[in-house]
Structure 1
């Protein structure tokens, strides 16, 4: 028996289930192509096209622009399915969904321009690089917009090779000596992709840096002050329909953690698939058993990791339902609720990472071959869990502060470095930064 089956939630939709099931049917195909994606540094064309045909890159686009605006439960189930096949494909799905919601904070004319392209664009419509980083590039205010200086570089641009647009962070010095931090929207063709994504995991996520080689004028309609981002996210629910866009700013941002840690859980499910297959006929190196599945040690690992993965998945899905129920009720999230959900998701992701580690060690050296998907899950989950916004101990500290009532409540986006510094108007540190 594999990991437990999903019990359909009343909060999921027929559309979401169809996409989830469509992805699950493609798991063998996408998993087999993942090694090619590592070599390419992005998703293989066949994988990108297959996901696009299933509308995976329209999950969070408003219905008025031909999107689905799916709720948290649907998003979680679909992300789990994609990552079960390939962590990098899951990462691309998360980026596409998450930064769709950021685009919705721009002026409506820009939103319409961006999503008009989804009629013909194959793949994610938008990605981002160093938007919330301490280190961003400087820009200059000019009539009608801003000029971003040549030589600007932004790091960790996940999805850069596939997206039609990039949202990047810039800082503008004001006459009073303060700095305004801005999100600016660039078109593909206004920036170049740097060949610097050479990493141990999530190699197919195309998280390259991007740079501009000449001054770029960005009109005011493509600029959002980061200090206003929380209020603008709050306003999304008043402008667009769909359960996935019906929550406040905290709810919209906690979905990003749900999606990111859902990738880790999905990869654990994929690793467990491979574990069952590879232990069936492989014999132990030193013990006299017909196969690994007949050794007590492997049986113990199987029992443990199945429960670990089940627990991680059920935690993610249960909390996704909480998000959707609050959206349906029109209830805002408190800072403490957001922090608790963040910790729950991060804990689930780390539990999934531990399960993958146990799976790899149970099988042994056969898993280190680059042709073996288990080693890729092990590397990819390590990279996912090192992401700054998803680290276990910082998340636990924030949750612990709330538990003991000693929290300095920053509240949602205000706790993100770039947004916090935007409110403080602190000086900008030039250079590519890490989100």
Structure 2
């Protein structure tokens, strides 16, 4: 007797696999989130239509070390680089769930494009500066194709050198990891200087125009190559006026001052809600990469014969079926965790709540953990498909490389994040958060560094 478990799923004739651009792309398994806005839904659905283009252009983008003009224009056209700009200033001010949906969908086609949409949030930081800078940066928004602002080495242990002069600062240095450096109109960088009044060594963030720095061709990496996360440099001093500078110690206050200052859900989040939403966007990218790899795996396994077994196609192998089943379960579980946290972040934003400091590390750990679960899933798909998957024309190998680069980002390395959480679980004193806002703590010879203040 045939049970329902062995019959083809409803709507899938003859048990054919779900191929790319099918239900796995639109994900209509549950009612849509009440926190998904009309603009977020519109943007997501337009990106779905762009997936064939994004997938076709991805390899060329890798070779260029930047998004192709076609990809950049397409992503710009749907408005994805404006998701953190206030609605009254011409943007969309999307919430956490909206952003996750947009990024996840982009990740199905081109992870580098999704990454640049996430880091385009650097434009939001400009709103905390003098209004003159805000107006200066946003003046060319309608004509500019790509993100407006990128950030490079703002919070790293080593930043640029500066000195205070009349009306501003003279700054020089080299700043690394400037994602979007080839596409953005402005760059934000960190520098240190000696305060003339107190003699104190202080740290600040300055905003540079494109004519003030040189892009260094040093982003030669295994994945996410089209993010063009190059270094930039200014070997000679450049003048940065006061209105383009803020002290990094003031950034938390300035960021918090934006809450409610503009309309749109994106400006209702508190400081911790913003942090969780940002981590959630990167987690959404990992899910998108994994789902895109699974879509490609299903399509390829349905056509390729196995190397040493007498099946017409790999899809008829029990081992391949189990890999597919486990991969979908892992992605569904990651999706559920992400949805829960992004919806809760938006719910709290709408009700005027923020997270307690003690809540953030656990949620961030959930998101980092799901990134690494997606990484293991993608690795397993490549190994199961075999040697054909390592060809540079195969999108699965790119997914492997991209998600590994994502997971090496300092904010998403799982063991340090687990340690932060484990300390709290054992009742030990927490480490400081955003330690780079102030000067680095130096350990005395032969001993541990002095006790750090608690995370805010």
TM-score range with shorter-chain normalisation? over 0.9
Distance 2:259 2:140 in 1: 23
C-alpha contact (below 8 Å) 1:271/1:359 kept by paired residues: yes
- 2:43 pairs, out of 5, 15, 19, with 19
Matches within 5 A, 1:184-263: 184-263=206-285
Corresponding residue number in structure 2 for 1:66:
90
C-alpha contact (below 8 Å) 1:245/1:252 kept by paired residues: no
Rate the CA distance shift 1:369–1:173 in 2: closer, same or farther, 3 A. same
Matches within 5 A, 1:302-313: 302-313=324-335
Corresponding residue number in structure 2 for 1:41:
65
Partner secondary structure for residue 395 of structure 1: helix
Corresponding residue number in structure 2 for 1:379:
401
Corresponding residue number in structure 1 for 2:133:
110
Q: CA deviation at 1:400?
A: 2.1
Asked if residue 365 in structure 1 is aligned to residue 387 in structure 2, the reply is yes
Asked if residue 165 in structure 1 is aligned to residue 189 in structure 2, the reply is no
Q: CA deviation at 1:108?
A: 2.0
Partner secondary structure for residue 120 of structure 2: helix
Q: CA deviation at 1:50?
A: 0.4
Name the structure where helix makes up a greater proportion of residues: 1
Distance 2:93 2:408 in 1: 29
Corresponding residue number in structure 1 for 2:4:
none
Q: CA deviation at 1:327?
A: 0.5
Number of matched residues? Answer: 418
1:340-393 per-position Cα deviation (integer Å, ceiling 9, x unaligned):
221111111111111101111110110111111100000000000000011111
Partner secondary structure for residue 168 of structure 1: strand
Rate the CA distance shift 1:237–1:87 in 2: closer, same or farther, 3 A. same
Rate the CA distance shift 1:406–1:307 in 2: closer, same or farther, 3 A. same
Distance 2:279 2:235 in 1: 33
1:144-186 per-position Cα deviation (integer Å, ceiling 9, x unaligned):
111103xx11001000000001000000123555321101000
C-alpha contact (below 8 Å) 1:134/1:417 kept by paired residues: no
Corresponding residue number in structure 2 for 1:421:
439
Q: CA deviation at 1:255?
A: 2.0
Distance 1:114 1:337 in 2: 35
Provide TM-score, normalisation by structure 1.
0.93
**Structure 1: 5+ residue runs without aligned partners?**
427-435
- 1:82 pairs, out of 90, 98, 106, with 106
Distance 2:442 2:91 in 1: 36
Provide TM-score, normalisation by structure 2.
0.89
1:171-210 per-position Cα deviation (integer Å, ceiling 9, x unaligned):
0123555321101000111111101111101000000000
Distance 1:330 1:168 in 2: 32
Corresponding residue number in structure 1 for 2:454:
none
C-alpha contact (below 8 Å) 1:101/1:252 kept by paired residues: no
C-alpha contact (below 8 Å) 1:335/1:409 kept by paired residues: no
1:55-114 per-position Cα deviation (integer Å, ceiling 9, x unaligned):
0111110112100001000000000001110111111111112x1222222122211221
C-alpha contact (below 8 Å) 1:138/1:170 kept by paired residues: yes
Distance 1:378 1:404 in 2: 35
C-alpha contact (below 8 Å) 1:180/1:425 kept by paired residues: no
C-alpha contact (below 8 Å) 1:133/1:417 kept by paired residues: no
**Structure 2: 5+ residue runs without aligned partners?**
1-17, 444-456
Corresponding residue number in structure 2 for 1:431:
none
Q: CA deviation at 1:213?
A: 3.6
Distance 1:385 1:392 in 2: 8
Q: CA deviation at 1:124?
A: 0.4
Distance 2:430 2:417 in 1: 14
Rate the CA distance shift 1:213–1:421 in 2: closer, same or farther, 3 A. closer
Structure (1 or 2) with the larger CA radius of gyration:
2
C-alpha contact (below 8 Å) 1:398/1:407 kept by paired residues: no
Corresponding residue number in structure 1 for 2:449:
none
Distance 1:228 1:254 in 2: 20
Corresponding residue number in structure 2 for 1:432:
none
- Structure 1's consecutive aligned runs of 4 or more residues displaced over 6 angstroms after TM superposition are none
Distance 1:82 1:275 in 2: 18
Distance 1:78 1:65 in 2: 20
- 1:153 pairs, out of 169, 174, 178, with 174
Q: CA deviation at 1:409?
A: 5.8
C-alpha contact (below 8 Å) 1:167/1:186 kept by paired residues: yes
Matches within 5 A, 1:249-398: 249-398=271-420
